[in-house]
């Protein structure tokens, strides 16, 4: 069986932070809350320089950001505020949801600026990225409300405070 989260460390600070274990806990909580089974994803822990290159390449924004995601398929709901397709594969043949990248400097600066623990902030961002892989979005108001409430519910189940409060 493939690992739930295949974590690739491009910046050693993520290894010392414990990103692989944190990402697995975040994924387990997300999938349990949504009833998703038979899926895997890849997560890259990188620095601001690398994520700025990715942001320029894929979003035409040449600056660092906290987290980026690349879904392997479009799972979005047909109407604003609707649930995306949350079906998965099975243990022997899991569906690959896609890839996430997360940047060290931006995440740590945001956590400090928002007076949040780095672990709680990064957990929120990993969950946010996973929800994007699952087809959640925040462009339309109804979609943003659904995504934020889903994040709150998952974080609450992990004992983490509302990041939007």
Q: Is 37 annotated as a binding residue?
A: no
Is 121 labelled a binding residue?
A: no
128 has binding-site annotation: yes
Q: Which of 69, 43, 80 is nearest to 131 (CA)?
A: 69
| Residue 149 structure tokens | 């409430």
Order the strands of the 67-71 sheet from edge to edge.
5-9, 39-46, 95-103, 67-71
Residue with tokens 């949350």: 86
Distance CA 66, CA 78 (A): 28
Bind-site residues: 128, 132, 138
Bind-site residues for Zn(2+): 128, 132, 138
């Amino acid at each position: 069986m493939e690992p739930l989260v295949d974590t690739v460390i491009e910046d050693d600070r993520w290894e010392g932070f414990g990103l692989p274990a944190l990402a697995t806990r975040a994924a387990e909580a997300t999938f349990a809350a949504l009833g998703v089974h038979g899926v895997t994803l890849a997560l890259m822990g990188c620095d601001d320089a690398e994520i700025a290159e990715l942001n320029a390449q894929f979003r035409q924004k040449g600056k660092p950001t906290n987290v980026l995601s690349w879904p392997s398929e479009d799972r979005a709901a047909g109407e604003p505020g609707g649930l995306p397709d949350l079906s998965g594969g099975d243990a022997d043949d899991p569906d690959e949801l896609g890839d996430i990248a997360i940047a060290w400097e931006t995440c740590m600066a945001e956590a400090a600026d928002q007076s949040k623990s780095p672990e709680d902030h990064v957990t929120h961002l990993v969950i946010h990225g996973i929800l994007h892989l699952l087809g959640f979005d925040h462009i339309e108001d109804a979609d943003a409300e659904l995504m934020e409430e889903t994040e709150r519910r998952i974080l609450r189940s992990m004992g983490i405070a509302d990041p939007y409060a």
